Structure 1
Amino acid sequence: MAQSRHAVEKEQSTKITALVVDDNRINRTIHRRLLSNLGIENEVVGSGKEAVDAHCSGKKFDLILMDMEMPIMNGIEATRKLREMGNRSMIAGVSSRSMEEDIQEFIEAGLDDYQEKPLTMSKLISLIRKISLNG
């Protein structure tokens, strides 16, 4: 794992920040730990509305890991809203849903990437590399 972290840190020219958006406490903890193990500063929120509120408060993130199914405001609505508000973060949908029409609706809302749960270190490193290449 140290080698993976070193490889990612080497690719980062600046510190990458991430927001984990998931209503499931266990998923939030897992995603937060994966990010922390890569040296990525991160915050967690429990709904799409909280993600939109974080953006409204002026917080900026390089990566947003967005769950699809959440109460109050789901990931599709939150992604669409964030894009309408001009958010340019990489938004990666992370969901256990595998129905093609659900995934397609999520992507059309403004996702940059979609990963099926569980999120693994290799999937996360792939996302970070895309940020590094585009940044």
Structure 2
Amino acid sequence: MEDIGARILAGDHQVQYGQNQRTKIKALVVDDNMINQALHRTLLRNLGIENHVVGNGREAVDVHCSGRRFDLILMDLDMPVMNGIEATKKLRAMGIQSTIAGVSSRSVDENIQEFWEAGLDDYQQKPLNFPKLVSILQKVNHSV
């Protein structure tokens, strides 16, 4: 199998990550910051990953309640209405088995441990970049 991560890290940002799979990877970006939303959408789109954006954890839960499913959820920690910890707990309680990657500007904090315990599969400190996203996607690839 081709090492897509190595191609991306070598500068080939036109790789279609989901191309060799039966179904294309779908991602949900959950972040209240419009700049982070745009950055994450662009990174995902450049890898050929279909994505949808919501502004808080409550919207992430609601979009799943409406029947939408995603292979990857990029979950911010600090958001209004419902934070990433609470949203991750609710999604896991609903039986959502998507790869959930916490993405936050916090580096060391007791909330990070609580975030992991809520049901994260990965955690990356902001800003998200291609190497960090590739690391997350390799976990999705193994579970899809």
8 Å contact from structure 1 (residues 18, 62) kept in 2: yes
- Per the TM alignment, residue 9 of structure 1 is displaced from its structure 2 partner at its CA by 4.2
Selected match of 2:90 from 66, 75, 81: 81
* Residues paired across the two proteins, number: 135
Alignment of 1:93-108 (within 5 A): 93-108=102-117
RMSD, aligned α-carbons = 1.6
Partner of 2:50: 41
The correspondence for 1:128, drawn from 133, 137, 142, is 137
Structure 1, 45-54 or 96-105: larger mean CA deviation? 96-105
Matches within 5 A, 1:1-135: 3-6=12-15, 8-9=17-18, 12-135=21-144
- Taking every aligned residue pair, what percent have the same amino acid on both sides? 63
Structure (1 or 2) with the greater helix fraction = 1
Distance 1:81 1:47 in 2: 13
CA distance in 1, matches of 2:66, 2:140: 23
1:91 CA displacement: 0.3
Cα distance in 2 for residues equivalent to 1:10 and 1:3 = 15
- Deviation of 1:117 after TM superposition, in Å, equals 0.3
Residue 85 of structure 1, CA deviation: 0.5
8 Å CA contact retained: 1:67, 1:94: yes
Q: Which runs of 5+ in 2 are unaligned?
A: 1-7
Q: Is the 8 A contact 2:58 2:82 kept in 1?
A: yes
The letter of the residue matching 1:96 is: S
Checking the alignment, whether the CA contact within 8 Å between 2:74 and 2:103 is kept in structure 1 is yes
1:23 Cα offset (Å)? 0.4
Residues of 2 paired with 1:80 and 1:9: CA distance? 27
Greater Cα shift, 30-39 or 3-12 = 3-12
1:129 offset after TM fit, Å? Answer: 1.5
- The 8 Å contact of residues 11 and 129 in structure 1, kept in 2 or not, is answered as no
Q: TM-score, normalised by structure 2?
A: 0.88
TM-superposition CA deviations, 1:6-42 (whole Å, max 9, x none)? 2734554420000000000000000000000000000
